[in-house]
Chain A
């Protein structure tokens, strides 16, 4: 019985999501809203502004430098947490 209820809920959620997905823009559409905000500027001017031929690196480390700084901080925090939880000196 529980399993049946779960299956019914899953199918209902699937139908709702499929209905919502009707309104999404098609894949790789250059006119979709996500492609019109800052992406054209990155593609057109990343090289002349940063001198880096790889746009991914330019966005990662320059335009989105804060993001990468705190990604590094997250990795640092994870390593220090593992060190604090596990590391112990035997008597």
Chain B
């Protein structure tokens, strides 16, 4: 007995070591290289602060940091201001078609933000449909939403669904007896919201705002398309690294470091705020959506319909555009045709679709296997190594996609490990970026399983491994698989790191959409975007079918 026990301990230790080696190579090593390159002069090999000095002395550079913060903070606040009432209205008032609205909101979140950017350009851009309509009507010369307002518009509408999703989940466990207790103590509806509901939702609001913040801060495609002169840090880091006159590695590395510092500060600020006020609630009496009447009912429906409509509008625009007739290039000639589909799906090489599916599925498989094992190790086999492992897997959570992409090229463009240009480097980057989410959801799933259940299996003669395989894993699986579908959708809509790592051989749908938009081929871009949207919707429906749920968690 003692013999078998020892051999199992060493088995798990070997696994821990392998996993640690993997993360050391693919997370720690690239990050250390970024840090190294940012402070070392490649010619002389001596330490230098020149890159940082350059960034902070020239307004052209440091302004991007100000821009990034402005855009991010404003969009996050606006998203919270939209997400909170949306979640509350949908939970507390019976809204006609709420199931469909819920799905629409989720779908609008699943699409990459930059698609929103180019869809809004088509509506409110210089030559946008709405812009031209109003300019002709009122003889104005409105020049379209670009720069700050454009970016904020796109990010707000694209991000509030995330806050909505989190808050609806939180509201589901909200104990309505608290509302009733306040009511019985003489508290009016508005005061109840201010004194009871909002303070209790605050931790969720903060953590979901944090996710929005990270997403917006790191997003590259949106400011690139709709920002025009308004440059943000991901745009700067991309242009410095990919610059026409040969990339400037050291400077790009320095910007990467600054970006990481900013996200880390935000991350810990949020952690600090959220930890000060976390409550566990069990909803003995959940909030029940009730029929409202009169003005309240009309207002609630109005707000929910309008906001949801604005959120899904880009998707509709994209699908609509994909059926427009064009001159074969950038100009739409009026009328409808399947021409764009012919030009992309049939005439052109359509490997981008299969690339997307292939890379995504392999990445998901890696994320699943590793994520579950890491969660198991860090919860059930607590030791120093596994704690470090757990922490390291969380790093990618706060590393912007473009930073990860650049760090990968630093690390794997030259011996000892050469991976640049391969499918593997993209798969690994996808997997690593998604790992924190899967590990956390697996840890949560594991937390739901009483240790007694495993002990029961062991008392009945099952070994450690058998218990994991036969008892723990099957019990974790529903939660983990549900998370995997969401990871899959996130991976296929990833742009920031794939735009840096891709080559034509392993180009994905999002990269194709982006490059077609840049070339002005909106028709082709729309076809790809439509396929991406269909894939997401299909995945979402499968998710709902498999889990039997009506809402998602990310």
Q: Do A and B bind each other?
A: no
